[in-house]
Structure 1
């Protein structure tokens, strides 16, 4: 009441057959956090009941009448499938062998800020689960859940495929004369994921490649959190972040980028390069590894090739303040320049962009106007147009900090 925000309180009797499921949810939500999951605020119990206080998730459920009464267009279909893949990647990336298990429309909610997955009572740890039997929803659960068998990553692949089939059947787009519709391509993908034998189903990497090939980037107009995000393509292997001047927040933006990728289930390396004496003084020695993020501090440019061999999905490199772009910077898939267009830092940021206008490309370059408001971002874009360079340009407002 004091916060004037909605919460959900889940209450269950300790004698209820589903009591262990709610305990499992409490354990999982207290251990992990992600944009895909509701936040767990508190766990309480008395002599008779267990209570979970969670974030209230407002939106349209995939099993709701509102959803069922409407058809999906191809952009909406692509967006939801990509969201489900992101969640699958997140679950697959956890250090412990965790399976979500309960893939069904009733557990997926579309909100104004993105896709949310709810009900983690059937999460299972493939090692040391003490014979725990998760719930299995007919029509969506893998055969090994229904008939009994060894559970593994392929079990979640089956659940993902069952939801892809459910969604694709909501789309009525017909094939054109020379091109199959996204609907038919996704139905083909689902048939591969729904193989009876777990050994015949594709692995997570194959599923990722197929979804990327089928679905184009198609965010819904209402997805404001996507507009506020920094990284434009999660498939970018190496992402360079540099500052036009010391103190503009280069390391902060680089860490935000790494955290955005990690929240999507990517395994990320964060590299802070060795700085010159007059460079950014941010010290990462006190930072331990973050969830899904491995921190490498004071790395020499020649050592990056070694880290590239370690199997990370993405490598975010914090270059700090730079005078000239190095060959390593140019070789990165995404190149982000952090500026501050304000009274204190604005003149030096402008001078940096002016002196490097011949070097800055368009497609894979991005200007981040840190701590900006709408007015300063508008001025920044106007200035870039005046320089006749057209890199991407985004503003990160104070509320993001």
Structure 2
């Protein structure tokens, strides 16, 4: 395939990004929208075609901020073309070759992210077993976030299967059962994760364990005793001796994170467990207090010690009007072409794309993605680690929720919120409409002035969001 070649009258090939197995991945531009995508070409004549197509079968059903989305599928007489998120960045194998082994503090944060995405995959029905986690399949994107790519070896876990039909994986990272001695399951992914962490922590390929015991290598790399024991449990040869699920591994990891090296110092316990630094917020209806809720969330996070920013990914213009109000009240601290500071928070008005916000500067980022109308920024909401959906506060308007769902597919992990003086509407959402989880925020009229009782209720709701984020 050549540069400038047009695929399906929609995408222009920019350049080749790489080859994997029997497929080739290109950088392509959507001709109409002028945005970039990864385009994977699969030959219909390849003996591995069925295995390669497994990737699209699995990915099209997934929605998680660490996973690429499949957005389009095209074909001609010779090839299928899978159009997916383009993730600019560097894979962790290249990163370690350039920068050396990863410091424990950073590796702890990555471990939490990776356990979170495994728990998401294993929690599907049927479970998705990834089977090939390794540094080269993990991309550190240009915003400093980990992304898990290449689902060509993933499988759907079936209880009736007793063994894998073929060896699939990468030597050194693959678990013993992947060599044909048993069936791959969630514990297989935990072994792969353990070997990946070993490589990142020591700078040594896992095959080097043959010449140096893993425990000695990890200790020489300077890892704490708790973290070393955690990794050694993951790489037990016998699956029965590993944590029996990703949820159990997360629970074990809690003991590591509670040591002296916490991710967030002097923060509440839930903050240590917030695996998602980005909260995306949308509303079913326009003019329902969405921006005010975002401000309330930011204010509560700021009071809990988080360095917080709010980004307006819609065309309402509310943030610029806020800026003018802050200036009139003489509480505007700073302002430039892209953002302004007030009330201890940073505001980014009129953001077109999420990459325009320097996310690494902030502990927490709240995205005001606007109401679910024709201009709804669905991609920004999906990019968040937690999605909060503001529902109508009146029960008789709840039918509008399902009208919105006819246009926009709801996410499996969405958190539904109502603003009310009682729990009645939350209960109806859960029991009658089967929307879980649901949260009640105080019914407020002014986000800048709340009663002590409302602040307590707001705090409880925020704590619940952080707990839910920690389980994703």
- 2:201 paired residue among 168, 171, 185: 168
- 2:104 paired residue among 74, 97, 112: 74
Displacement, 1:270? 8.6
Which residue matches 2:451?
Answer: 356
Which residue matches 1:46?
Answer: 76
- 2:191 paired residue among 155, 158, 162: 158
Q: Distance in 1 between matches of 2:234 and 2:218?
A: 23
Q: Distance in 1 between matches of 2:46 and 2:224?
A: 42
Q: Distance in 2 between matches of 1:252 and 1:143?
A: 50
Q: 1:264 to 1:248 in 2, by over 3 A?
A: closer
Which residue matches 2:41?
Answer: 11
Which residue matches 1:284?
Answer: 401
Aligned-partner SS, 2:446? helix
Provide structure 2 residue ranges, at least 5 long, that are not aligned to the other structure: 1-28, 205-216, 266-274, 298-366, 369-377, 431-435, 463-472
Cα deviation per residue 1:289-327 (whole Å; 9 max; x = unaligned)?
Answer: 94434888999838989999xxxxx944134x626xxxx
Aligned-partner SS, 2:254? helix
CA RMSD of aligned residues (A): 5.1
- 1:201 paired residue among 242, 245, 265: 242
Which residue matches 1:192?
Answer: 233
Which residue matches 1:95?
Answer: 125
Q: Quick check: 1:59 aligned with 2:107?
A: no
Aligned-partner SS, 2:60? helix
Which residue matches 2:440?
Answer: 318
Cα deviation per residue 1:68-94 (whole Å; 9 max; x = unaligned)?
Answer: 533323332122212211211111121
Displacement, 1:205? 2.4
Contact 2:416 2:437 in 1 (8 A): no
Which residue matches 1:23?
Answer: 53
Displacement, 1:166? 1.8
Provide structure 1 residue ranges, at least 5 long, that are not aligned to the other structure: 220-224, 232-240, 309-313, 324-347, 368-401
Q: TM-score scaled by structure 2? A: 0.53
Q: 1:14 to 1:269 in 2, by over 3 A?
A: same
Contact 1:92 1:153 in 2 (8 A): yes
Displacement, 1:273? 9.9
Contact 1:140 1:163 in 2 (8 A): yes
Aligned-partner SS, 2:118? helix
Q: Distance in 2 between matches of 1:250 and 1:291?
A: 21
Aligned positions, number: 313
Which residue matches 2:64?
Answer: 34
Considering Cα pairs closer than 8 Å and 6+ residues apart, tell me whether 1 or 2 has the greater RCO: 1
